[in-house]
Amino acid sequence: MLNYFLSITKDILNEASNLSKKEKELVYDQVSYAVRQTKSHINATRTNGKDKSSPIISNAWQRASQRIKTVNNPNIKRFAETIEEKSKYWADPISYNTAQFDDFEMRIFQVETTLEKLCK
């Protein structure tokens, strides 16, 4: 499993240099917007470690996923899958299978780390 994550990280770092400035800006703008909105929502609504669903947050992640899928890069396509999963989570966090968090590396800090690596 560790080798898998190392391989993905290596691929991301290698492919990041292949993105145009415009593509990097698109990915960064779309995902960072969803991250900011999510952090604000969490700060306002999370109680006892439980998240409250939000169609607005779910739509922000879905929109980001759809927009970054237009970038023709395998790492961005994989990242878009993670972003899409976040949309599913925010649609119904209570019934969401949280094992997916680790499968998709979709925790906020993981998304931010991947975003930084992709858009350097």
Contact predicate 89/54, CB 8 Å: no
Q: Both tokens of residue 94?
A: 């209570």
Q: How many domains does the chain have?
A: 1
pLDDT at 101: 85
In which domain, by residue range, is 73 found? 2-119
Determine which of 5-9, 22-26, 46-50, 61-65 has the lowest per-residue pLDDT on average.
Answer: 5-9
- 101 compared with 117, residue with greater pLDDT: 117
pLDDT, one tens digit per residue, over 16-60 is: 558 999 999 999 999 999 999 999 999 999 999 999 999 999 999
Contact predicate 85/30, CB 8 Å: no
Lookup result for tokens 């917007």: 33
pLDDT at 116: 94
Query: What mean pLDDT do residues 85-109 have?
Result: 92
pLDDT at 60: 98
Which amino acid belongs to residue 19? Answer: L
